[in-house]
Each structure stands twice: as structure tokens, then as C-alpha cells.
Chain A
Amino acid sequence: MKFGVVVFPGSNCDHDCWYAPAKNLGFPTEMIWHDSSTLGDVDAVILPGGFAYGDYLRCGAIAKFSRVMTAVKKFANDGGLVIGICNGFQILVESGMLPGALLRNRGLKFICRPVDLRVETVDSPFSAEAAKGQILRMPIAHGEGCYFADDRTLDELEAEDRVLVRYVDNPNGSLRNIAGILNEKRNVMGLMPHPDRACDPLMGSTDGAVIFNSMAAAFAAIAK
């Protein structure tokens, strides 16, 4: 199982998204430059947090035009696992790979704080190793993390069991407390909180590890 971390010029959690799987969890992990038209031989893609191209327009609005995103879309269409964290989630939404939008936090301020998430489904390659209803503690660090979609989309997400995690105590005004969602095929996931910052006991929580470990287990099952 090899993870690939996409590096946009303004990614600033690229190193964290490399360190957590590579050093905390021991998976081979490599960086993929945003100008690259291929993903090499990686088995799963991580779109990390940060400010991809400055995000002076809408977060992720420029990133969707980058060369690497064409490759990421193809990878996802072929069934590859793609996880977007924070800015990565925003990019997936802007790219149309996940529904909805991420608006400014309801309080209009950037918030950095550990939050509790409730696992809503374990029927996904990102959460199979967790227990349904399990509470995961990991930090958020965003200014635009308020998940928004129309009612029909929200109903659909819930009906299809595609809400992966919800906030126990909603920090940003996200509709229906949504913190992370899946695409229809369940191989693309976006979430605002940072599992990459919750894989090391020194960071106060290792609850994020279950996400990367689930991905590795899912890949191992497919590979068999």
C-alpha cells in the first residue's frame, strides 16, 4: 500500500500528510507535484490541507484546473482511493468529485481546535476499521469549513449512507453537522478535520490513524 500526497504550491499540510502515514504508521508514501500529469504507482491519493493556489478566489477554485487533478479524476473513476483533507476536501468539491460546497465558518473566523467526530458509517474504505458511533478526536483548522448543500443533496447523502463523520458539537455551522462525506462509489472521501494531525501520541490524539489504516486494509482486500 503506497500513499501519494499531492503537493500544490500552497499546500502546507503536505508534510503532515506524508509524516502521518509514512512515519507514524509506517506506510510507503511519496509526494506528487501539482504539475504532474501522472500519479506514478501510488495506491491511494491524499489531497492535503493548505491554500493550494493562494485561495484568494474560492478555496480550491483554481486547483481544479491543475494538471494533476485530471490524473486524480481518472484515478478515482478507475476506482482508486482518494481522500481530501481540509483544503483537499474543498478541492474535491470544487472539482465536482463530491457534492456541495464549503462556505465560510458561521462565526466568520478561522478556527483551530480539537473536535469530536461521530463515525456515521463503517461501510467505506475510509472507516471500515472504526466502529459505528465511535467518537474520533481530531483537530480542525479552517476558515471555510461550513458544509453546505441543498436539501435534496443532503437527503440523498443520508439516504445513501454517504455521511462519513459528523461533528458532535458543530463548530462551523455545517448543515446537518456534516464533517466528512463520500462520493457515490464510496472511493472518494472529503473531510474538514485533520486525521493527519491525529496519528501521533505527542499531538494529543491518535484517532486519525483509523482512517489511514482503513484505507490500507481496504486496499489489501482488493489486492487479494
Chain B
Amino acid sequence: MSVITPDLIAQHQLTPDEFDKIVSLLGREPTYTELGIFSVMWSEHCSYKSSRLHLKKLPTRSKHVLVGPGENAGIIDIGGGYAIAFKIESHNHPSFIEPFQGAATGVGGILRDIFTMGARPIAVMDALRFGPLDDAQCGARNRRILEGVVSGIAHYGNCFGVPTVGGECVFEPSYNGNPLVNVFALGVFKHDEIFFGRASGVGNPVIYVGAKTGRDGVHGATMASAEFTEESKQKRPNVQVGDPFLEKLLLEACLEAMKTGAIVGIQDMGAAGLTCSTCEMGSRAGTGIDFDLQYVPQRETGMSPYEIMLSESQERMLLVAEKGREEEVFSVFRKWGLDAVTIGTVTGDGLLRVRDHGAVVAEIPNRALADEAPLYNRPYTKPRQLAPPDAPQFESASLEADLLKILGSGDVCSKRWIWEQYDYMVRTNTTAGPGGDAAIVRIKETNTSVAMSLDGNGRFSGLDPREGAKLLVAECCRNLSTVGAQPIAATNNLNFGNPERPEIMAQLVETIEGMAEACAFFETPITGGNVSLYNETLGDAIFPSPVLGIVGLLDTAAPVAIPFKNEGRDVLLIGGFGRPDAGRFGGTQYAKQVVGEFWGKPPALDMDYEKRVQAAIREIARKGLAESAHDLSDGGLAVALAECTFGGMGAAIEVDFDVRPELLLFDESPSRILVSTANAEEVKKIALFHGVESPRIGVTIKERLRIGNGPATLIDCSLDNLRGAWDQALNRSLHPEHV
């Protein structure tokens, strides 16, 4: 038996105070295995010890919410006896160390979170952040990470058979040493098919199913709770290896086993593997679990109890069955060729008792692990000022060149190179796939479709975390409304640096508070999510990077899309011109790509107006009045107009607005949506009813995009030029040697 030394405690990333708390909870010193168990359960990744206090501020309830945070995924009622489960998870640290497997197992992990609740996964989306592909120092590595991450996501999702229907991808130097890979998954089921991760019923058997346990991923959760240093590459063995075929078998077997009625509770083994699933299932049910490691199927010989308990081998589940009905469960898993073994029983003593060939190697109250983890009210000051307050001097040499440059930039250009590698249609539910404002999947058994939007804007959050978070909620809801969907619930992934630094902690706190306010206002409660901290390499933190996934509902029908369709249609700007202001222009794509600076405040948001704009566009979309609709975001009016022309129909835009042209064209004020319509009068009536401006700004024409302000022509460009700049840009930056 190892002796617990201060060094050993530090290696487990436990503080002396935390160790003292362990001793007082146990009434004795922990064993080596117990120390390992505490270290993963009390890691930032599993315990949310820095964020829990603030996460409580988020709204979590509404009439649609069937299950809120605390379970493996949130559940929302969608009517007709059906429900959806959805959640987002990060796999940032593993994806930096080993991009392909890191991203692949990120997909695998979130899919298990969904089907462990009984839902069949029907959609995945990814929010990706990398360093610039042309970065002088890190470009080659960034390109390798991007290629690895995308092929990892494709490998896992395509084989598993879930469509990857959308997402986003952004490039910033602050992600050079810390790429972000956030994966969102959504599943569907009936109300009476919901399962929970609860070990209920004293005497019931605890059953291990799925892949065998190996040494992979030991300590993955603690790795994800530390900054990167030069030594991080040595942690590569901490990254798990995924097997999507096995996951597919596990999915089918679990859903089929659930139908037998013999399963009482079920939970996937994700971060902290067997440790987390046993103590959480026991803790939720107020029970204990007594099991013997000798029965755990193992892939390698000579594994210690410590390694078995901390392994993060993929594609494993823990379930509790009704005593006496084990065989019903086993026969289903046999059919699918999977291991299913009883490893222990549910007890009434509330203890996690781990045995090795009968001898007790760990005995810890479940509640101590799951519920009594340290809770920190970490000190916070003001968010760190990342940019000067005032705008620099800037003047465009050619607005057309500026537009082409932004269209060809990594953030704005077509992401087709990425999403064509994903099977985005399998299961034939995808009525709007990648590349639109929101993705839509229909629920075949009902007349309802689910729209989803995944978004984040690190630049806005960097300038003002609180306002950035509100803008983010507004943007996601606007994306959904633009396709006619009513936003109903959200999941968040909070990616930040080291919370032990007060100015980073302040970013986190302000983001959560801003998000809480906006989510309450837009009636989109947060039903679950993930916090990823310590996203720093050698002391450089990422931009504060909240990522938000919001889902909405609409009736199943052919959805309204971005491209202009027909010639001679009126183009209306629902919401009007916004409030362009040079001091609030420093977070825009124009500032980033053209001016090359970062300054001031993010655009101003009037939440009440935003809500009315969204209500108006939903009504316009629902009544079929919009032939096309596209919300303004990155790159503002000019980029949105260009994107509307990529279907081959252009526009002649004439406005008369007293503002400098850079701001008119590229300001990113929220609350604005472009529509083309054959019935402008009706559209304007609806806008007026909601108290929203809806200026007619032009008409669709063939072959060109023209934008004029008063007598001045700002842009006059062929559609081929616009599309050429946008379409192949990502491919070109990934393969610079071919240019």
C-alpha cells in the first residue's frame, strides 16, 4: 500500500485543504485507490467546484422542461407524447493532445449522455475554435489540429449513424495553444421511455455492459482540469480511443434492453469512468453500491484497482436491473455481441464499496464524492481589459476589396470543406443541414421539427463578457426565429481560462450573469451543459468563450433558406439599420480582418426590441411570406447580402442613410434579418404590428450585387467574384502549398 505523501496529493491536483476534508469525511486517511477516486470526482471537470456557485444563477425551468440540470442531459417536452434530450460537452484538452481521437471520443461521450437517458440520438453539432491556419508560428499545427478534429468527428458520427447537421468554426490567435471542441447532441424519445442514472432498489444487481476496461484515459478528468505546459504531450496516453461501431451496438442494445422493463437505472461511463457512474448513481438514489473489480471485463492484464476505477475506456455503461430479471438484460446484450456482467449489488448503506477479489480497497460515502465536493467562491475582480476603449483611425481603400477579404476569411468563408465530411442526412430527418442560420431535423412520428443553433462570439465576450453573453443568447434565438422556430431551451458550454486568476473568474461570473438575464428574458432555460476551465497554455488564456446551443420548435415543412430565389422580389431589412457606432465596431469582422485591430465595446443590444424582431420574423416565416431569410451577424449587412446571393440570384440595394460606409455595410448590430418577399406589404404589416422597422432596401436582380447609399455606389460586384472569394477559401488556407 502506498503511503500518502504531500507530493502524491499534489500530483492528484488536490490541495492540502481538500485532502484534510477527505480525511475528515472518511474519519481516516484514504487509501491510494480512494485518493485516486476523490481526485477525479473532486476535479474541476467533474465537480464544477469553481463554477457551481454561479451556475445556480441560471434559469432552469419552464413549462417545457421535463428534466433540468443534474442528469446526463436536459429533457424538453415537444408535444404529442414526445420529448427531446440534448446537451453540449467539451473535449478541448484531449483534442489538443490528440486531435483525431480527442474529437472522436468527444462525440462518443455526448452521444452516450443522450442514449443513457433512453433517447435515440438524431443530431450532432460542433462548435470548433482553432488558431489561425496561416499563423506565422502555429499555422501548420493549427491546420493539423483542424484536419484531425474534423476527421475524428466524421469518423465517429458517420459510423455511429447520427447526422452532424451543423455547427460553427472560428479562428483566433488566442486558440493557438488551446483549441476548443464542443459537441452538442440531441435525441428523441417518448415520455414513457425516459431513464435516469439512479441505483434504486436495495439488492438489485449492478451490471457492467459494453467495452472492456483498459488503461486508456486514466486521469483524463484531472488532465482536463489543469493548464497546458510543455509536459502536456506526455499525457497523450491519457487520451482515450473511440470505437464508433461498438458505440452503435451499445446504443441499440441499451434501447432494446430498456424496452424489457427490467432496467431500473442506467448511466454511461464518461469522465472518471467506473468511479463517476457508481457513485453518482448511488448518490442520486440515496443508496450504496458494493461491487468487486474481479468481475469487471478487462482488456489488459495486471490492472490495479486504482487503474480500473480511473480508466476512461470508451463505450461502457453501468446499469441497475430488477433482481431476478438479469437474464432478460443479458440476452439482449448477447444478441448484440456485447459483454454484460453483474459486478455488484445496490446496498442501503450509502457507501461506494469497491472490492478486489473480496477484499475492500475503497469504501467511501457516495454523497461525499458526488455532493460534498469542495465548493469555491473564488475571488473575482473586473474582467481583464483585452482591448483599448477607443477606435483607431481607419478608412477603407476599397469597400469591394474589404467585402471580398471578409468573405474569404476563416470565420466567414464557406465551411463546406468541413461539413461535407460529415454525413448530415443519415436517418432522413435533416430538412435544413449545415450552412444555414439554424439546422432543422423533423421528428417523423409527429408533425413537429426541432431547429437548433450553436453559436459563440469570443470577440464580443472578450470586449464585455456580460454583454457578449446577452448578444449570444439573442443571436441563437434569432437564428432559430429566422427559420420560423420558437426557441424553447438551451445548453451551454463555458470555456474559460484559469479560474484561480480573479480577472478570469470575473469573465466567468459576468458571462453567467449575462446569460442568466438573457435566457430568462428570451424564455430559454438552460437545462444542462458543461464548464471547461484552465484553457490556458503557458499562462495565455483563451478569449472568454461561452458556446450556446438553443433548440426551438416548428411545424414540419420545407423550411425557408438563406438564398434569394426569384428575380424582382423586394428585399426588406426587418429590424432596420441598427445603431452603428465606431466605438462599438471594434469586435466586428471588419475590425478583425480589415483594420486588424480590436477595441471598444460590443454592439448595443436592446433585448425588448430583439424579442419583437424575432416574433415578427417567426410570423413572417410561418405565414410563408419570406422566400428567403437570413439574419445579420458576422460581417453585417454586406456579408449577409452576399451570402443571400450564393444561390445565384443577386440584388440591387439602394439606401439613404447618414453613416460612414464601413459602418453601414459591416456593422454587426443585432436584431436584424434580411428577407426577400413577393408580398412586401403583408410583411411590413406584420413588422409594424410588432413595433419593428422593416425598410425596403432593394430588389433582387440577376448576376450582380450592387449596394448604393444615396448617390454613392459602395459595392458593385459579380456574383461569381463574391462566391469565388467565399467558396474555396478554407480549402485554400488548408493547402497553402497548392496556391
CA distance in complex: A143, B431 (Å): 23
Residue A176 CB within 8 A of the other chain: no
Max chain A C-beta neighbours (<10 A), residue from B243, B419, B426: B426
Contact present for B159 and A16 (CB under 8 Å): no
Contact present for A15 and B556 (CB under 8 Å): no
- A53 cross-chain contacts in B, Cβ below 8 A: 245
Residue A154 CB within 8 A of the other chain: no
Cβ 8 A contact of A139, one of B249, B425, B444: B425
Closest B residue to A199 using CB positions: B428
- A-contact bits for B428-451, CB 8 A (1 contact / 0 none): 101100000000001010000000
Residue B248 CB within 8 A of the other chain: yes
**Interface hits, B683-718 → A, CB 8 Å:** none
**Interface hits, B219-248 → A, CB 8 Å:** 243-246, 248
Contact present for A20 and B337 (CB under 8 Å): no
Residue B77 CB within 8 A of the other chain: no
- B243 cross-chain contacts in A, Cβ below 8 A: 54
CA distance in complex: A51, B419 (Å): 20
* Interface size class of chain B, counting residues whose CB lies under 8 Å from the partner chain: 20 to 34
A9-B248, A51-B159 known; A16+B428 contact, CB < 8 A: yes
A109-B421, A112-B424 known; A9+B249 contact, CB < 8 A: yes
Contact present for A56 and B428 (CB under 8 Å): no
CA distance in complex: A92, B422 (Å): 24
Residue B307 CB within 8 A of the other chain: no
CA distance in complex: A54, B161 (Å): 12
Residue B423 CB within 8 A of the other chain: yes
A19-B444, A20-B428, A203-B425 known; A111+B245 contact, CB < 8 A: no
A-side binding surface: helix, strand, loop or mixed? mixed
Cβ 8 A contact of B420, one of A9, A20, A112, A197: A112
A50-B161, A110-B421, A112-B424 known; A9+B558 contact, CB < 8 A: no
Residue B486 CB within 8 A of the other chain: no
Residue A196 CB within 8 A of the other chain: yes
Residue B572 CB within 8 A of the other chain: no
Contact present for B426 and A13 (CB under 8 Å): yes
Closest B residue to A196 using CB positions: B428
CA distance in complex: A112, B423 (Å): 5
Closest B residue to A19 using CB positions: B428
A10-B245, A53-B245, A202-B556 known; A112+B422 contact, CB < 8 A: yes
- B-contact bits for A194-209, CB 8 A (1 contact / 0 none): 1011001111000000
Cβ 8 A contact of B431, one of A54, A56, A112, A202: A202
Contact present for A10 and B558 (CB under 8 Å): no
- B-contact bits for A65-101, CB 8 A (1 contact / 0 none): 0000000000000000000000000000000000000
**Interface hits, A185-224 → B, CB 8 Å:** 194, 196-197, 200-203
Residue B71 CB within 8 A of the other chain: no
Contact present for A141 and B442 (CB under 8 Å): no
A13-B426, A16-B427, A110-B423 known; A202+B442 contact, CB < 8 A: yes
Max chain B C-beta neighbours (<10 A), residue from A56, A110, A200: A110
Residue A12 CB within 8 A of the other chain: yes
- A106 cross-chain contacts in B, Cβ below 8 A: none
Contact present for B423 and A141 (CB under 8 Å): yes
- B158 cross-chain contacts in A, Cβ below 8 A: 110, 141, 143
CA distance in complex: A46, B366 (Å): 50
- A143 cross-chain contacts in B, Cβ below 8 A: 158
Residue A113 CB within 8 A of the other chain: yes
* A181: min CB distance to chain B, Å: 23
Contact present for B249 and A141 (CB under 8 Å): no
Contact present for A113 and B159 (CB under 8 Å): no
* B249: min CB distance to chain A, Å: 6
- B428 cross-chain contacts in A, Cβ below 8 A: 16, 19-20, 196-197, 200, 203
CA distance in complex: A223, B442 (Å): 37
Residue B134 CB within 8 A of the other chain: no
Residue B542 CB within 8 A of the other chain: no
CA distance in complex: A203, B243 (Å): 30
CA distance in complex: A203, B163 (Å): 13
Residue B352 CB within 8 A of the other chain: no
CA distance in complex: A139, B243 (Å): 26
- A201 cross-chain contacts in B, Cβ below 8 A: 558
- B245 cross-chain contacts in A, Cβ below 8 A: 9-10, 51, 53-56
- B248 cross-chain contacts in A, Cβ below 8 A: 9-10, 12, 51
CA distance in complex: A95, B246 (Å): 24
A10-B248, A54-B243 known; A112+B161 contact, CB < 8 A: no
Contact present for B420 and A113 (CB under 8 Å): yes
Residue B160 CB within 8 A of the other chain: yes
**Interface hits, A1-56 → B, CB 8 Å:** 9-10, 12-13, 15-16, 19-20, 23, 49-51, 53-56
Residue B581 CB within 8 A of the other chain: no
- A54 cross-chain contacts in B, Cβ below 8 A: 159, 243, 245-246
- B557 cross-chain contacts in A, Cβ below 8 A: 202
**Interface hits, B330-369 → A, CB 8 Å:** 336-337
Closest B residue to A198 using CB positions: B428
Contact present for A12 and B420 (CB under 8 Å): no
Closest A residue to B426 using CB positions: A12
Residue B199 CB within 8 A of the other chain: no
CA distance in complex: A16, B428 (Å): 6
- B252 cross-chain contacts in A, Cβ below 8 A: 9
- A-contact bits for B402-430, CB 8 A (1 contact / 0 none): 00000000000000000111111111101
- B336 cross-chain contacts in A, Cβ below 8 A: 9
- A16 cross-chain contacts in B, Cβ below 8 A: 426-428
- B258 cross-chain contacts in A, Cβ below 8 A: none
Residue B154 CB within 8 A of the other chain: yes
- A10 cross-chain contacts in B, Cβ below 8 A: 159, 245, 248-249
Cβ 8 A contact of A141, one of B160, B425, B558: B425
CA distance in complex: A56, B425 (Å): 22
Contact present for A202 and B558 (CB under 8 Å): yes
A9-B252, A113-B420 known; A15+B154 contact, CB < 8 A: no
**Interface hits, B543-564 → A, CB 8 Å:** 556-558
* A116: min CB distance to chain B, Å: 16
Max chain A C-beta neighbours (<10 A), residue from B159, B252, B425: B425
- B-contact bits for A103-147, CB 8 A (1 contact / 0 none): 000000111110000000000000000000000000101010000
CA distance in complex: A111, B158 (Å): 11
CA distance in complex: A143, B154 (Å): 10
* B132: min CB distance to chain A, Å: 22
Contact present for B431 and A12 (CB under 8 Å): no
- B431 cross-chain contacts in A, Cβ below 8 A: 202-203
* A58: min CB distance to chain B, Å: 14
Contact present for B444 and A112 (CB under 8 Å): no
CA distance in complex: A110, B157 (Å): 12
CA distance in complex: A104, B427 (Å): 23
* A216: min CB distance to chain B, Å: 20
Closest B residue to A9 using CB positions: B249
Closest A residue to B433 using CB positions: A112
Closest B residue to A202 using CB positions: B431
Closest B residue to A113 using CB positions: B420
- B422 cross-chain contacts in A, Cβ below 8 A: 110, 112
- B161 cross-chain contacts in A, Cβ below 8 A: 12-13, 50
Apart from A51-B244, A54-B246, A112-B424, what are 10 other A-B pairs with CB-CB below 8 Å? A12-B160, A55-B245, A109-B421, A110-B421, A110-B423, A111-B421, A112-B423, A143-B158, A197-B428, A203-B431
Which 10 pairs, one residue from A and one from B, show the smallest C-beta to C-beta distance?
A12-B161, A54-B245, A141-B423, A51-B159, A16-B428, A110-B421, A112-B423, A10-B245, A202-B431, A110-B154
Chain A contact residues, CB within 8 Å of chain B = 9-10, 12-13, 15-16, 19-20, 23, 49-51, 53-56, 109-113, 139, 141, 143, 194, 196-197, 200-203
* Interchain residue pairs with CB less than 8 A apart (18): A9-B245, A9-B336, A9-B337, A10-B248, A12-B161, A12-B248, A12-B426, A13-B426, A16-B428, A19-B444, A54-B159, A110-B423, A111-B420, A112-B424, A143-B158, A194-B425, A200-B428, A201-B558
